[in-house]
Amino acid sequence: MEKKEIESLVRKHIESKFSDRDRKEYIVAANWKMNMSAKEIRRFIGEIKEEKIPNYLKTVIFPPYPYLPIFQEMLRYDRIIYGAQDVAKEEQGAYTGEVSAAMLADCGCSYTLVGHSERRGYYAETPGIVAKKAAAALRYHIKPVICIGETLEDRQNNRYRDVLKIQLDAVRQEIGDVLSECVIAYEPVWAIGTGVIPELVQIEETHHFIHELLVSYTGISERASKILYGGSVNEKNVKDIAAVHFVDGFLIGGASLKAGSFINILRLLNVDGR
């Protein structure tokens, strides 16, 4: 099949996905990494609270740890939810600098990222460590967003499927079928912060591969599986990527730091508001 034909097919798919009365939930998540100040965050939350976001667009913000109480204060009864960028694999004790899942639950977090490629790369987090972090979060009813992704070298050597499988296998070994309750964020390392995104057909093929892995592990249905795409998502490309089959939302870094651009992304995905 021609690339164009595939793209038009996936576009049709997303249209039907969004025109469905009983729409599948779509997750739009902001990963702020080590950015923002208390003042900027208060302004950001003030702006986004004004936005009418449809029910099927689940908005999740991942600020740095010290700012979680601002979210707890300003978003207590709001539909916008928040979480942490990481969590300790240990329960409690002498682990200087770590933050436990119980503490995140205390701060009202319902989600946490685990295994972001910056954690895997800069802080030597192995698939086993990431798996233990996911398990720690789940013990406190915090949904882990398990980030997986291959390097450019793995992609070029056609090893990306093996790498993704190793990353997911470790989590499955740790938590078994509960993997079906987690969110997966596919973030090719070479697309993060680079302005380069994979071709849409590559995104489709890789998300399909991840979905099939989840099906083989847990028997999850297509409707229940949640696989986000992350890496250089912005206002210009978000609609095209949203049209890709098996893309159930986004994890957005740079383009989520300004309320204006993050809100625009939400508007672009809001089919009711068109």
Radius of gyration for the alpha carbons in the chain, expressed in angstroms and rounded: 18
Contact status: 193 vs ligand PGA (CB under 6 A): yes
Among 44-52, 53-61, 91-99, 226-234, the segment contacting ligand PGA (CB under 6 A): 226-234
Helix (H, G, I), strand (E, B) or coil at 184: strand
Q: Which residues pair with 273 in a beta bridge?
A: none
Both structure tokens of 219: 């028997």
Which member of 45, 130, 137, 233 binds ligand PGA (CB under 6 A)?
233
Q: Which residues pair with 227 in a beta bridge?
A: 184
- Residues in contact with ligand PGA, shown as a per-residue x/- string from 145 to 174 under the rule CB under 6 A: ------------------------------
Q: Which residue is nearest to ligand PGA (CB)?
A: 253
CA nearest to 56, candidates 7, 85, 21, 88: 21
Q: Name the catalytic one among 187, 205, 207, 211.
A: 187
Helix (H, G, I), strand (E, B) or coil at 90: coil
Residue with tokens 């950001």: 44
Q: Which long-range contacts (CB under 8 A, 24 or more apart) does 208-215 make?
A: 208/245, 208/246, 209/161, 209/164, 210/148, 210/164, 210/168, 210/184, 210/186, 210/246, 211/246, 213/164, 213/165, 213/168, 214/168, 214/179, 214/180, 214/184
Contact status: 86 vs ligand PGA (CB under 6 A): no
Amino acid letter, 72? Q
Report, in Å, the least distance between residue 193 CB and ligand PGA: 4
Q: How many CA atoms lie within 13 A of 76 on its CB side?
A: 4
Q: By C-beta, is 187 or 218 nearer to ligand PGA?
A: 187
260's CB contacts (< 8 A; 6+ apart) are 47
Site for ligand PGA in 5-44 (CB under 6 A): 31
Contact status: 252 vs ligand PGA (CB under 6 A): yes
Residue 5 annotated as catalytic: no
Report, in Å, the least distance between residue 264 CB and ligand PGA: 14
Both structure tokens of 58: 């689940």
Q: By C-beta, is 136 or 185 nearer to ligand PGA?
A: 185
> Considering CB under 6 A, how many residues would be counted as binding ligand PGA?
13
Which member of 254, 264, 267, 268 binds ligand PGA (CB under 6 A)?
254
Which member of 41, 183, 253, 262 binds ligand PGA (CB under 6 A)?
253
Contact status: 232 vs ligand PGA (CB under 6 A): yes
Determine the Cα–Cα distance for residues 144 and 137; give it in Å rounded to an integer: 6
Contact status: 128 vs ligand PGA (CB under 6 A): no
Residue 211 annotated as catalytic: no
Which member of 131, 244, 251, 263 binds ligand PGA (CB under 6 A)?
251
Q: By C-beta, is 83 or 231 nearer to ligand PGA?
A: 231
Determine the Cα–Cα distance for residues 273 and 267; give it in Å rounded to an integer: 7
Among 40-48, 186-194, 237-245, 266-274, the segment contacting ligand PGA (CB under 6 A): 186-194
- Interface ranges with ligand PGA (CB under 6 A): 31, 187, 192-193, 230-233, 251-255
